[in-house]
Amino acid sequence: MVCLGNICRSPLAEGILRQKITERNLEVEVHSSGTSNYHISESADSRMISTARRHGIDISNHKARQFVVNDFDYYDKIYVMDGQNFRNVSRLARNDEDRSKVQLIMNVVEPASHFEVPDPYYSGNDGFELVFKMLDEACEKIADNIETKKR
């Protein structure tokens, strides 16, 4: 899960998907990062920690890290939140295989829609709740897809 700062959207996406994976007894590693170096080693935004907690998800132990090229080797799928993240990650891709791993997360719900998960950093509480709703829907679909593949 990748966003810009790795303190709002992607830490929540990581927390939501990890919970769904655990509930379904699937074995998948989920992590998150940001394309920028703005907030390296910081905790998630306190407003996002509260939003997650309201929905029964604990992201209080999160520490922000920056996306690195080696992540292409370790991860099978790289979900990004918006077009800027898509361009930033794709710029680091070394080949078509790397590029093929990068996907806008909301395209999982609505293929080819190119909907973006809006950056809530400068928004009010509504923005955080909206991000939760969007990511919960997307992560449910991702967990469904992983489960179907396993069967």
Sites of contact with ligand 4NP (CB under 6 A): 3-9, 34, 38, 119, 121
Q: List the catalytic residue out of 3, 8, 18, 45.
A: 3
Q: What's the N-to-C CA distance of the chain in angstroms?
A: 24
The nearer residue to ligand 4NP, 108 or 135, going by C-beta atoms, is 135
Q: Is 119 a catalytic residue?
A: yes
9 is catalytic: yes
Q: Kindly compute the dihedral angle of the four CA atoms of residues 112, 69, 18, 141, in this order, to the nearest 10 degrees.
A: 10
* Cβ at position 27, least distance to ligand 4NP in Å: 27
Nearest to 127 by CA among 135, 77, 28, 78: 135
Closest separation in Å from C-beta 113 to ligand 4NP = 20
Q: How far does CA 150 lie from the centroid of its chain? A: 22
- Comparing CA positions, the residue from 4, 105, 9 lying closest to residue 51 is 9
Q: Is 8 one of the annotated active-site residues of the chain?
A: no
Q: Of residues 9, 82, 136, 139, which has the active-site annotation?
A: 9
Minimal distance in Å, beta carbon 97 to ligand 4NP?
A: 26
Could you give the residue numbers annotated as active site?
A: 3, 9, 119
